[in-house]
Every structure is written in C-alpha cells, then in structure tokens.
Amino acid sequence: MSFPLLTVTTVVPAVGAILTAALPPATNTRSRDRNKVVPLAFSLATLVLACVAIARFQPHGARFQLTENHSWISQFGIGYSVGVDGIAVVLILLTTVLVPFVMLASWHDADPVVDDSGTFERNRRTQGFFALILAVEAMVVLSFEATDVFLFYVFFEAMLIPMYFLIGGFGDRTKGEDAKQRSYAAVKFLLYNLLGGLVMLAAVIGLYTKTHTFDLVSITTSLQNGTLHFSPVVENALFLGFMFAFAVKAPLWPLHTWLPNAMGEATAGVAVLITAVVDKVGTYAMLRFCLQLFPQASKTFAPAILVLSVIGIIYGALLAVGQKDIKRLVAYASISHFGFIILGIFALTSQGQSGATLYMVNHGVSTAAWLLVAGFLMSRRGSRLIADYGGVQKVAPVLAGTFLIGGLAILSLPGLGPFVSEFLVLVGTFERYPALGIVATAGIVLAALYVLVLYQRTMTGPVKPGNEAVGDLKARELVVVAPLIALLLVLGIYPKPITDIVNPSVNQTLSQVGRTDPAPHVVNAIGGGQ
C-alpha cells in the first residue's frame, strides 16, 4: 500500500489543532509564545507535505493522482475517496503557504489586553485561536482533496464552525456596540453559508437518487460514456442547488453581503483566511463539481452567471472606491476579484479557466500581502478608518513601500502575479463573450482608483496627529511580508510552473463539458475577415 500522502496532509493540521487546544493555559508572555510555536510548527509540517504532493504530481498523468479509496458508509455509497488534479494540488499548496504567514502576522492578536487600571478587557485562551486556524486548514485541504461528493459536503459545511468562532470570538472589538457588530457579522456569515449548504444538501440527495453513488469519478465516467443521463429539468435543478452554495461561499453578487461584515469585524489575519483561503473552496467547487457533474446545465446557465460576475466586478470596485474603512475596502475589492475568477470559469475557454485558477492563487497571495500590511498599520494606530491616517510614509517608509507593492498587485500591475491571470481571464472571455469582456475591463480602471486613492490618503502628505508614533515593520512582520512580495514578483515574471500543472486539468474539464475554444478569426491582408 502506498503512503497515504493526502490523508496525512489533512491529519497533520487536525492533530495540531487538537494538541494546541490541549496545551495548558499560558501564565506569562514566555509560555504564551511557546504555545504559539506548536501550531506554527504543525502548519510548516503541512506545508512540507503539500510541497511533496506537488512534486509527486505528474501534470500529464492520470486525471486524479495520489488517490485513496476506502469504504465509509457502504449501504449509501459513501466512501472516503480523495485525489488531486492539477487545480486542486495548486490550491492546496496556496493554502498551506498562507496559513503560516497568517499565524505569524496574528502572533499577538489573541493575547490578553489590559486597560489602564490593570483590568483584563480581553482574556482568552491564546492557543484556542491558533487551534481554530489549524482546524480550518485541515478542512479546507480535505475539501480540495475529496472526490466523494458527500465527503466534500461534510467538510464544506464543517469549516464554518471554526470560522464562526474566529470571527465572533477573536475579532477586533470586545465591548459595547463593537462587540454586537462582531457577533452580528459572525452570525450573518454562518447563516448565509448554512443556507447555501442546506440547498446543496437537497441537491446532493437528489444526485444520489439518480446515481446511487457519491463517487465523482464514477458519475463523470458514466456521463461521458452515456450510461448515465439526466433529464434537462433534473440536471438544471441539481446544478442550481450546487451553484447556489458555491456562489454564497465564493461570494458572487448578489449573495456577497456577508463578506464585508465578516472581514470588517475579523482580525486582519482571519480576514485573509476568509477571502484568500476559505472562499477559494467555492470557486474551486464550481470547476470540480458544477462543470463536471452537470455539463449541459453549466452551458445553459453560463451566460446568466457571466452577467452576475460582471455586475460583481463593477459593483465591488465601485463600493471599494467609496469606503471609509480599510478592511471593508479590501472586502469589496475581493468581491470584484471573485467576479473575475467566476467570469474566467464560466467563459468555458481554456484561457479563461487557466486564468481563473491562476487568479485564485494570485488573489490569495496579493490580498494576503496587502491586508496583512494594512493589519500591521491598523494595530499600531488602533483605527480602521482611512481618515485617521496620512503621512505614514514619512514615519514608516518600509511599511508604506510594502503596502504600495501589495496595492499595485491588487490593481494588476504588469510584472506582478495578478496581471497574468487577469489578462488570461479577459482574453478567454473576449473569445466567446466580447461585450462582457469589454465591460469587465472597467473593473481594472476602478481598481487603480481605489488602490491609489487609498495609498494617497493614508501614506502621503503631512503626518496627521496620532500617526507620529507609527513604527516601521519589525523583523517578524518583514518575515511575513517579504516572501509574499517575492512570490508576487515570481508569479508575475514566470507563472509557467503553475500553468503547466493547471492546464491539463483545465483541458480535461472543458472536454467533459463538451466545449472547445472558438476558432480564431483570421484577417486577410486587405483587412477583410475570413
């Protein structure tokens, strides 16, 4: 029996979460830091395992590799079945790369806070915060690995629980109206996603009644060889059930309203976990489950989903321009970026889907870099309001410089990672839906507006009162930011290692949907079309 690499990649953070939660309560700063080293070590071990998985993955080999299949609830056709394609293995690597940086950036986010009288304003088990992060990592990784629909559903829903406590129990505020806002954001996050999950559960049950199995490979094989056939009404209904849940998680306009509240009230590290890690499960599931299980329905509803994606691109960017809160600005910017990702997926072209997958990676890295630097700034000043800042580059030039680079990545500056992915998405969209591609490009202009205006208001000009003591980045913070910026540069200059892994899986997905890229339009020497 071969080594169960994928299972171990999930078990390591899960065991880390349990051991971290079981650590004795810290009594001083030294013991508290020691308790934080344990979860960080488990997250780094998980990253090593993910690197081994991607090294062993053969892009031009079998569709699903490193597979494991074990019977779970045999009478209902439920099994523990895991495997990765090129898209999944890249997103697992993204997740395992970001989690250690989130931990380092959040090193003091759950420490006790003492007011001037010496009374604890916040006294929580610090290790509980890091245990919850590891629990989220384990569930996200298993969601990317699952090739059993029921297994995927269980962890797609289960990850909501630790995220709820991270938002509601470890947010930025602790008292009065701010505590109420944090609780409201956590409950809204949970209810929206539970509603999506309940709709998906009905669709999962409906799928089983037609197929009598939850095995993704068996179902898609039967669809391809013609031994399984859905009526158009049934396929459309099942597709919508799955798509609704994924659109809530993604989030796709108009099901996005939980995200600004959740990101606004979470710590900067948890906000990165939401938008750069957890939300990627929604867009990934569109590729793995919606397109592969329901190919005809995917083509039927693609134009409507593309319209919603373009609305999300423009809507998110416009609202980002008008925000007064830094984290809510990043949240609306992410809604716009998720619009680009979903646009690439449902354009149903190889360039669009390759760009969408690469966009998931680049958005995760760029948002982490931008938002974590913003978190360092907000922790120094104690405010999320843009109006409270100004002239920061004079007192913290390295912080301002890294914030600028992160922002330039967000607006897809050439030479940084997101530019390549956004370009591919737009090219893929233009091939089949040129009008939507033209409208979507407006999101690029608006991104430049909200990024540069934010930088101008916070970093340039005279130093505003209250900002004089804002210090520059410390060693731990540089360890967080520098590798993320380096990764953005590498992905912007040489994305080929990622696209080489992703492209075969994209082509196989398009083949299952029955789509090929439109034939190129050839123009003769005189200027006429042929």
User: Token pair for residue 419?
Assistant: 């530019």
Please report where in the chains the tokens 């966009």 appear, as a residue: 359
Separation between Cα atoms, residue 262 and residue 385, nearest integer Å: 16
Separation between Cα atoms, residue 126 and residue 124, nearest integer Å: 6
Separation between Cα atoms, residue 336 and residue 319, nearest integer Å: 10
Kindly indicate the confidence band of residue 113, based on its pLDDT and cuts at 50, 70 and 90.
low
- Which pLDDT score, from 0 to 100, does residue 509 have? 86
Greatest Cα pair distance in the chain: 83
Model confidence pTM above 0.95: no
Separation between Cα atoms, residue 512 and residue 510, nearest integer Å: 5
User: Tens digits of per-residue pLDDT, 460-472?
Assistant: 888 888 888 888 8
Separation between Cα atoms, residue 370 and residue 383, nearest integer Å: 17
Segment 92-116 shows an average pLDDT of: 84
363 to each of 241, 337, 416, how far by Cα in Å? 27, 7, 11
- Which pLDDT score, from 0 to 100, does residue 175 have? 43
CB neighbourhood size of 240 (10 A): 17
User: Tens digits of per-residue pLDDT, 185-231?
Assistant: 889 999 999 999 999 999 999 999 888 888 898 898 888 888 888 88
